Structure 1
Amino acid sequence: MNRTLKWWQSCQVYQVYPKSFLDTTGSGTGDLNGITAKLDYLKTLGTGAVWLTPVYPSPMVDNGYDIADYEGIDPSYGTMADMERLIAEAKKRDIRIVMDLVFNHSSDQHPWFLQSKKDRTNPKADWYIWRDAKPDGSAPTNWRSIFGGSAWTWCEERQQYYLHTFAPQQPDLNWANPEVRQALYHAANFWLDKGVGGFRIDAIVYIKKPAFVDGQPDSTDGLVDIHAMTANTTGILDYLHEFKKNVFDGHDIFTVGEANGVPPEDLDKWVGEKGVFSMLFEFSHMDLQFPGGAEVWCHAKPWPLTALKKALSASQAATAENGWYPIFFENHDQPRCINHFMPEGADRTLAAKAMATVLLTLRGTPFIFEGQEIGMANVKWGSIECYNDISSHGQYKRALAEGHTEAMALDAVHKFSRDNARTPMQWSRSTHAGFTKGLPWLPVEHDRNWTVEVEAEDENSVLSYYRRLAKLRKGIEALTAGDYVELLPSDESIYAFRRTVGAEATVTIVNFTGEEVSYDDNLVKGMKLLTDSYPAAAQEDEEPGKLRPYEAVVYMTQEAEKTFSKEAECV
């Protein structure tokens, strides 16, 4: 294997949404001990790091992304001792725990904000973004928050407005104040001292504020999306380089920034030797349905496969020589990938395996979101009241305000609600799919056929396929260290690419349609089939140059076969 790769470049990262992973107390909410109990399971997926969404003390207005204490553990998840045990037990299995840093904003219940709001002269008066009203008493600007409504909320105590990119309960921190930055760096270093292996940094593109001026309204409410006004403001990288110097440098960790809106051509400024982060979550391939930039669910547009391929290839090219790419098709803010990227009505097992093939054979570090490995799908609840997600309610209200019917607004929620990814993990055939013995905080979409217990017993299941691909990735150098070249870029049915390191190469070919399709078999001439997403009994019908509906195949050269690890399972 290529010894120049860092540990986080050759493993998989598994994202846990703790609230929905496993409840060990009967409270109906997942907890830290539930994660510890499943570390051996996670290791079977090639997991080298577990990213936890926030487990800090929080009022849970936004399910933990409204933090009231950056150096504590919310009682609903357990204790600091539980956290320390998780870190230690993970380390025994060569797994690092990665924390989620939410540094653009805090909870309005954080002691910092409670003091800041008292008056305009207290020691933390300038720790948040405060502005006077316009002469007519209205908000300082016409910016719309990401969750809907004005991004400004009036505070009676100070007789001023405060800015919140997200919910009113999530006031934005003032990064222009060096005391704020030092306090945040202290919090991050607190967790490094606990032994965590890295950080995912939330909503980092918003920390640098521009001039506070009105923008051109983009909807009937007279407001403009705050993302368009504030994301990636000039000077933000100065803050981030200071962040890196005070926290990241000198530690054997990885960092991945959530940077919606950073184009592929700018990635070299954000990642790699000259950048700040090890990797960057950019969303060009996730937001194809929102070509205007603003994520307005009721405005979603259809997109061709070539658009997805172009976005992925652009990100691959941008990180080919500098930086590294985090490959993902799901997370806690996105719908399930088989619904997002595959046609409606697609065979669920084949669709999940097709997406897994792309995920685990592209260049970069794969991020698997909990439940993705068993093919969990979107939910479709009957009314908006059934949804917990704060953004779903905001998007629903906006759709109605723009004149959409309730049915149309709810349909958009069905497609894009963050609750699609947040329903509890499906472990077993038992009640509530083994997630809890109590009443689950969010309904369990329990189909006994789509559980870890059932799929572990089926060699043709989605879970078994993920495990097989994890072994292949570990055993073939081209799948980790190989470069990337797209094949068939203009094909609207097939995504194909080649990975090469030295004389070793693999070719991945995936059919994104429900029809049989053909391709030039010269692409795999002289190569051997490494894996096929169809069941073993059907693989004898696999024929180079043809793909059955939603079929995914990977071929390898003889050189790859010779160096193939004995622990990997070749078809």
Structure 2
Amino acid sequence: MSGSVCSPSVWWKSGTVYQVYPRSFQDANGDGIGDLRGITSRLDYIAWLGVDALWISPIYPSPMADFGYDVADYCGIDPIFGTLEDFDVLVAEAHRRRLKVILDFVPNHSSIAHPWFAEARASRKNPRRDWYIWRDPAPDGGPPNNWLSNFGGPAWTLDETTGQYYYHAFLREQPDLNWRNPAVRAAMHDVLRFWLERGVDGFRVDVIWHLIKDEGFRDNPENPDFLPHQPEINRFAQVYSADRPEVFEVIAGMRQVLAPYGDRVLIGEIYLPMERLVAYYGSDLDCADLPFNFQLIQTPWRADAVVDLVENYEAALPPGGWPNWVLGNHDQPRIAARIGLPQARIAAMLLLTLRGTPTLYYGDEIGLDHVSVPPERVQDPWERNEPGHGRDPERTPMQWDAGPYAGFSTVEPWLPLSADAAARNVDEMCDAADSILTLYRRLLGLRREHAALSVGSYRTVGLGVEEIYAYERCEGEATIRVILNFGGGAHDLPLPEASTWTVLLSSRAGRAGAREAGSVALGPAEGLILLRG
């Protein structure tokens, strides 16, 4: 990438992103579902927390087969969430608080209810027929190839009216758009301009690696590592149904749309191995600024595994490529559910002190854990199709106070609250010195105060203890050392000779400001941030 693309002055390089799942953040109109006015009412909290941008998951008109990821109108707001005027107020109020707004963009597929698809399926000769992906049946009348849906079952549905199958990488209610068609690209570029003109500061592009499919529609090869407990999609390697080389031309087109609008950010959702992930940095003309790096979610929670991941990622980054890190989102189990509450504090320190742009997921800052969803309250279509793979537990409402429905709504929310909502909420935790919320806020404050933590260099520090991960961040004359204990033992760890260190922050309350020299004591599951001098 060119220097201008990754200049330290670009806000998304030093900043932090906070993901809001709008159905679950704040309900302002008393229907049990979060909305735009609810988000606006909580902007002071987001600014108080100390993040720089909020990313809002889809709010477009939708039948909600996949809760907004099935879009029926790319230039509107679903009445569940409010109006375009509500959105404009949200953007203006966010900007007044110096918060950026990133919008979820879902270009791979529309809803089956989108007018484009209604036209496309009307006849084989309709001008919009080629806006979607259609194929004749196989000789036996079945699907054209072996491609599978990410939500289980075949990725092809027969349209009885026209006698052809249409392709859907996800639900049958989410037909894939044909990005090989220039008219589709032009229409979607107009969508980007529509929201850019309304003041959005960038886009998170849903499943960006899916946008182009193999022109010959070849069968995907079998995956030799497939295990029976895995989702069905893993039966085959998605060699031909995703991650095709022509996708970079599509990304280049999106970048050209954003270019006249200044420092807007383009983030690509990409679930791919490391060597393929970094390819999406491309060049300064066809890159995603931040190809989302989900490797921390997928890596075993051990110090040695995380060290290897970070070093391999840093080594794989192309010149000028800026790293980014994600520990949770609306599709993955909560970090506290994966590794437990004590280690969730270590995870917070890791996420907010590694080199790169971190993305936080709402609720992780109060330590939301796995929330049980009884069968009669299941909402996620994936859970209905493939039990055990549902995403409802990571989409439960934000918990604001100890009142009825945790301050999220005045009525029963669309998903349950956690069993400990009376204690695990913002009001109870915001002034508690030892709360995970206070830890997150102090970490975000340190990133703003110390450039070494936001834009500084990175190097691993070997201390010879298997469960300890230590590294340094440096900028100018400043050196900050981060020491994280992934285990349950206490350790006395050496510090460089002839230097004194000040404790900036511990994952446990009460150590900030202490001076350390020669060695430092580290408790079980404790993290320390030390400033030299």
Q: TM-score, normalised by structure 1?
A: 0.85
1: CA distance, partners of 2:144 / 2:92 = 48
The counterpart of 1:118, out of the listed 122, 141, 151, is 122
Report the counterpart of residue 103 of structure 1 in structure 2: 107
For residue 125 of structure 1, report the CA deviation from its aligned partner.
Answer: 0.6
How many residue pairs match? The answer is 519
Report the counterpart of residue 348 of structure 2 in structure 1: 356
Question: Matches of residues 297-446 of structure 1 in structure 2 within 5 Å?
Answer: 304-319=302-317, 321-340=319-338, 342=339, 346=340, 348=341, 350-381=342-373, 383=375, 385-396=376-387, 410=388, 413=389, 417-446=390-419
> Kindly tell me: are residues 522 and 107 of structure 1, through their superposed partners in 2, closer, same or farther at Cα, counting changes over 3 Å?
same
The counterpart of 1:184, out of the listed 160, 185, 188, is 188
2: CA distance, partners of 1:324 / 1:489 = 27
Identity of aligned residues (%): 38
- For structure 1, the 5+ residue unaligned runs are 289-301, 397-409, 559-571
Report the counterpart of residue 263 of structure 2 in structure 1: 252
Asked whether the 8 Å contact 1:202–1:258 carries over to 2, the reply is yes
> Kindly tell me: are residues 303 and 469 of structure 1, through their superposed partners in 2, closer, same or farther at Cα, counting changes over 3 Å?
closer
2: CA distance, partners of 1:275 / 1:491 = 42
> Kindly tell me: are residues 497 and 320 of structure 1, through their superposed partners in 2, closer, same or farther at Cα, counting changes over 3 Å?
farther
For residue 144 of structure 1, report the CA deviation from its aligned partner.
Answer: 1.4
The counterpart of 2:438, out of the listed 447, 464, 467, is 464
2: CA distance, partners of 1:224 / 1:518 = 47
Give 3-state SS (helix, strand or coil) of 1:44's partner: helix
1:263 aligns with 2:258: no
For residue 471 of structure 1, report the CA deviation from its aligned partner.
Answer: 1.4
Asked whether the 8 Å contact 1:66–1:170 carries over to 2, the reply is yes
- Segment of structure 1 superposing worse, 513-522 or 227-236: 513-522
State the Cα deviation string for residues 176-233 of structure 1 (Å, max 9, x = none): 1000010001001100000111110000101111131223444688994473442211
The counterpart of 1:200, out of the listed 195, 204, 207, is 204
1: CA distance, partners of 2:290 / 2:282 = 6
2: CA distance, partners of 1:274 / 1:46 = 32
Asked whether the 8 Å contact 2:337–2:369 carries over to 1, the reply is yes
Asked whether the 8 Å contact 1:327–1:359 carries over to 2, the reply is yes
Asked whether the 8 Å contact 2:373–2:392 carries over to 1, the reply is no
1:279 aligns with 2:290: yes
- Segment of structure 1 superposing worse, 85-94 or 247-256: 247-256
The counterpart of 2:242, out of the listed 201, 218, 231, is 231
Give 3-state SS (helix, strand or coil) of 2:145's partner: coil
The counterpart of 1:78, out of the listed 78, 82, 85, is 82
- Segment of structure 1 superposing worse, 42-51 or 196-205: 42-51
2: CA distance, partners of 1:282 / 1:67 = 25
Report the counterpart of residue 561 of structure 1 in structure 2: none
Asked whether the 8 Å contact 1:426–1:446 carries over to 2, the reply is no
Question: Matches of residues 521-540 of structure 1 in structure 2 within 5 Å?
Answer: 521-522=495-496, 525-536=499-510
Q: Which amino acid aligns with 1:313?
A: E
Report the counterpart of residue 531 of structure 2 in structure 1: 556
Question: Matches of residues 20-99 of structure 1 in structure 2 within 5 Å?
Answer: 20-99=24-103
1: CA distance, partners of 2:213 / 2:234 = 18
2: CA distance, partners of 1:190 / 1:3 = 27
> Kindly tell me: are residues 317 and 502 of structure 1, through their superposed partners in 2, closer, same or farther at Cα, counting changes over 3 Å?
farther
1: CA distance, partners of 2:241 / 2:473 = 38
Q: Which amino acid aligns with 1:263?
A: M
Q: Which amino acid aligns with 1:308?
A: V
- Segment of structure 1 superposing worse, 178-187 or 316-325: 316-325
2: CA distance, partners of 1:483 / 1:214 = 44
Asked whether the 8 Å contact 2:112–2:174 carries over to 1, the reply is yes
- Pairwise CA RMSD: 2.6
- For structure 2, the 5+ residue unaligned runs are 1-5
2: CA distance, partners of 1:485 / 1:194 = 41
State the Cα deviation string for residues 283-315 of structure 1 (Å, max 9, x = none): 333223xxxxxxxxxxxxx67442233223322
State the Cα deviation string for residues 380-403 of structure 1 (Å, max 9, x = none): 3454x543222233332xxxxxxx
> Kindly tell me: are residues 41 and 538 of structure 1, through their superposed partners in 2, closer, same or farther at Cα, counting changes over 3 Å?
closer
> Kindly tell me: are residues 472 and 541 of structure 1, through their superposed partners in 2, closer, same or farther at Cα, counting changes over 3 Å?
closer
State the Cα deviation string for residues 91-121 of structure 1 (Å, max 9, x = none): 1111121100000111111111111111100
1: CA distance, partners of 2:255 / 2:153 = 34
For residue 47 of structure 1, report the CA deviation from its aligned partner.
Answer: 2.0
Asked whether the 8 Å contact 1:316–1:325 carries over to 2, the reply is yes
> Kindly tell me: are residues 542 and 429 of structure 1, through their superposed partners in 2, closer, same or farther at Cα, counting changes over 3 Å?
farther
Q: Which amino acid aligns with 1:334?
A: Q
Asked whether the 8 Å contact 2:151–2:233 carries over to 1, the reply is no
For residue 329 of structure 1, report the CA deviation from its aligned partner.
Answer: 0.4
> Kindly tell me: are residues 526 and 438 of structure 1, through their superposed partners in 2, closer, same or farther at Cα, counting changes over 3 Å?
same
Q: Which amino acid aligns with 1:440?
A: P
Asked whether the 8 Å contact 2:371–2:419 carries over to 1, the reply is no
Asked whether the 8 Å contact 2:373–2:415 carries over to 1, the reply is no
Give 3-state SS (helix, strand or coil) of 1:469's partner: helix
> Kindly tell me: are residues 169 and 319 of structure 1, through their superposed partners in 2, closer, same or farther at Cα, counting changes over 3 Å?
same
Q: Which amino acid aligns with 2:29?
A: T
Give 3-state SS (helix, strand or coil) of 1:25's partner: coil
Report the counterpart of residue 486 of structure 2 in structure 1: 512
1: CA distance, partners of 2:487 / 2:513 = 19
1: CA distance, partners of 2:164 / 2:207 = 25
1: CA distance, partners of 2:261 / 2:38 = 32
> Kindly tell me: are residues 223 and 266 of structure 1, through their superposed partners in 2, closer, same or farther at Cα, counting changes over 3 Å?
closer
> Kindly tell me: are residues 315 and 394 of structure 1, through their superposed partners in 2, closer, same or farther at Cα, counting changes over 3 Å?
farther
Report the counterpart of residue 399 of structure 1 in structure 2: none
Asked whether the 8 Å contact 1:185–1:247 carries over to 2, the reply is no
For residue 546 of structure 1, report the CA deviation from its aligned partner.
Answer: 3.7
2: CA distance, partners of 1:227 / 1:329 = 24
Q: Which amino acid aligns with 1:329?
A: L
1: CA distance, partners of 2:282 / 2:466 = 31
